[in-house]
């Protein structure tokens, strides 16, 4: 008789996209019929987890257990849903093979993401770079210029994630003029120094440019 396991994971206090990433990894270790109960502390995370489960064709439900706490319950799918996911993965892999010339370049020109509150902006850019490390298809190059150079220097909260991306083949390039302007020439912690000619060239030759 097959034993159904119930796993509990508490992601309260963890910033986006960490809850989704952690739950996704746990789901990959479980068997058909197993259950994951996730404790979260905001409705946005509930929505993000629900959307992730629905994309994977997994049964999902949620309930509010206190003013700030929710439980999201996800059931590991049956073989049919696994086959759907495997088919989608195969399709993506084939597309990637057929599009080997694809060159996605991510351009980061600030040490925060978006306008408004600076603290929030810095939290968002940190989450963005972390989310890049969890993608099935990584960009070819990440370019840093202007205040974006603060993300690739020693002591940056994103340094470990950038080094992980580099170890997985992502080219990390930081504007030398910008490093010099901010007095950070000797502080580069990942990748290499580049110049404006290369920054322009990389973007012109890219098949896709993502600007932050």
169 and 122 belong to one structural domain: yes
One domain for residues 58 and 123? no
Q: Would 127 be classed as within a structural domain?
A: yes
Rounded CA separation 54/51 (Å): 5
pTM: 0.69
Q: Identify each DSSP E strand in 76-140 by its residue range.
A: 104-108
Q: What is the pLDDT tens value at each position of the chain, 212 positions in all?
A: 456 788 899 999 888 788 888 998 899 888 888 999 999 998 878 888 888 888 888 999 999 999 889 999 999 876 444 444 554 544 444 444 343 457 999 999 999 999 889 999 999 999 999 999 999 899 999 999 999 999 999 999 999 999 999 999 999 999 998 999 999 989 999 999 988 988 999 999 999 999 98
* Predicted local confidence at residue 93, as pLDDT: 43
| 110 and 205 within one domain | yes
Cα(207)–Cα(47) distance, integer angstroms:
32
Same domain, 108 and 33: no
- Which tokens is 171 given? 């080219």
Spatial distance between the Cα atoms of 85 and 37, rounded to a whole number of angstroms = 21
* 85 domain residue, yes or no: no
Residues counted in the chain? 212
Taking the C-alpha atoms of residue 28 and residue 201, their distance in angstroms, rounded to an integer, is 40
187 shares a domain with 125? yes
Please, are residues 74 and 35 in contact by the beta-carbon 8 Å criterion? yes
CA distance 22 to 186: 35
Domain containing 62 equals: 6-79
- CA-atom Rg of the chain in angstroms: 20
Cβ atoms 75, 99 nearer than 8 A: no
């Amino acid at each position: 008789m097959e034993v159904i396991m119930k796993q509990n994971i508490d992601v309260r206090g963890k910033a986006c996209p960490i809850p989704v990433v952690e739950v996704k990894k746990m789901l990959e270790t479980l068997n058909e019929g197993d259950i994951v109960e996730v404790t979260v502390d905001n409705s946005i995370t509930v929505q993000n987890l629900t959307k992730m489960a629905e994309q994977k064709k997994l049964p999902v439900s949620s309930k509010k257990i206190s003013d700030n706490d929710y439980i999201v319950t996800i059931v590991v799918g049956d073989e049919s849903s696994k086959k759907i996911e495997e088919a989608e993965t195969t399709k993506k892999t084939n597309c990637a093979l057929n599009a080997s010339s694809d060159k996605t370049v991510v351009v980061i020109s600030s040490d925060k993401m978006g306008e408004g509150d600076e603290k929030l902006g810095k939290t968002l850019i940190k989450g963005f770079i972390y989310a890049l490390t969890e993608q099935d298809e990584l960009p070819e190059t990440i370019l840093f210029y202007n205040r974006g150079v603060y993300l690739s220097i020693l002591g940056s909260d994103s340094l470990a994630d950038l080094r992980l991306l580099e170890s997985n083949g992502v080219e990390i390039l930081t504007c030398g003029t910008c490093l010099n302007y901010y007095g950070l020439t000797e502080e580069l912690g990942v990748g290499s120094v580049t110049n404006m000619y290369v920054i322009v060239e990389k973007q012109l030759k890219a098949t896709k440019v993502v600007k932050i």
